[in-house]
Amino acid sequence: MLSIIGGALATAPAGAAGPAYVALGDSYSSGVGTRTYISDGTSCQRSTKAYPYLIAQARGYTLNFQACSGAKTADVTANQLGALNTSTRYVTISIGGNDAGFSDVITECAKPAWASDCSGKVNTANSFITNTLPGRLNTLYASIKTKAPNAKVVVVGYPRIFNGEDCNAATWFSPDDESRLNATADLINSKISAAASAKGFTFANPTSRFIGHAVCGDPEWLNGLSNPISESYHPNVTGHASGYYPLVSPLLV
């Protein structure tokens, strides 16, 4: 049974209402990169190929799909937390990358070295992730815990984008650029993990699953430079099905 009501996608076996599962967060949860999106009257780019939908479908959970492309912590608080209540059984969330401006960092680092301040952008992002992001995460996670006190909450991290090569003709990532961007992904995961642990939430780290399957991997689970540009550097259909789904699904029980 499928229904789309008020932008929320609900899935459950016919004739039964499964446990309530709310998927919060940004484009890595909504399914940007899969190229197939639900027509729900929003620009959130939610996909039936995204891991929250795959989990709900497989487990018979009733999905309230709130994750939205471009979301920052403040957007989750303002626009997504209303879906939570005392009946919520499961919650997933990926958030923090947009707060840190990670897409702008990648865009800067993709330029030729003579036209790029990749190092400066990375340093700024790392400073934000270290000094500002933890407070935002702590506040948001506390709100989730208050609004859904009976839920199992899984906080989902970000993969490293690169394997050590750049096979896209229109980008100029150096090996050092790629190494520093991967280190930034590790840094944000460490801060997210610490904040999640402090609230008793489970952290799902996708780093190991995407090794060998990052941009230019074989097979590639993360899109490289894409058309439209918004699809770039996000998990594709296989990235959700073979990367995130088997990582997160066993934790939502």
- pLDDT tens per residue, range 155-178: 999 999 998 777 887 899 999 999
- Model-level pTM? 0.93
E-assigned strands of 32-161?
Answer: 62-65, 88-94, 152-156
Q: Is 13 helix (H, G, I), strand (E, B) or coil?
A: coil
Which position has the token pair 């027509």? 39
Active-site residue 174, yes or no?
no
**Least-confidence region, from 40-44, 166-170, 185-189:** 166-170
Task: Please tell me which residue in 94, 234, 240, 249 is annotated as part of the active site.
Answer: 234
Percent of the chain with pLDDT over 70: 94
Active-site residue 240, yes or no?
no
pLDDT at 16: 57
Report the mean per-residue pLDDT for the chain: 92
pLDDT at 11: 53
pLDDT at 7: 46
C-alpha span between 85 and 46 (Å, rounded): 22
Q: Is the pLDDT score of 8 beyond 70?
A: no
Task: Please tell me which residue in 27, 69, 116, 232 is annotated as part of the active site.
Answer: 27
- For 225-246, write each residue's pLDDT tens digit: 898 889 999 999 999 999 999 9
Query: If we measure between CA atoms, which residue out of 7, 50, 10 comes closest to residue 30?
Result: 50
Contact 231, 35 (CB under 8 A): yes
Contact 204, 251 (CB under 8 A): yes
C-alpha span between 66 and 240 (Å, rounded): 17
pLDDT at 164: 72
Q: Which residues on neighbouring strands pair with residue 64, listed in sequence order?
A: 22
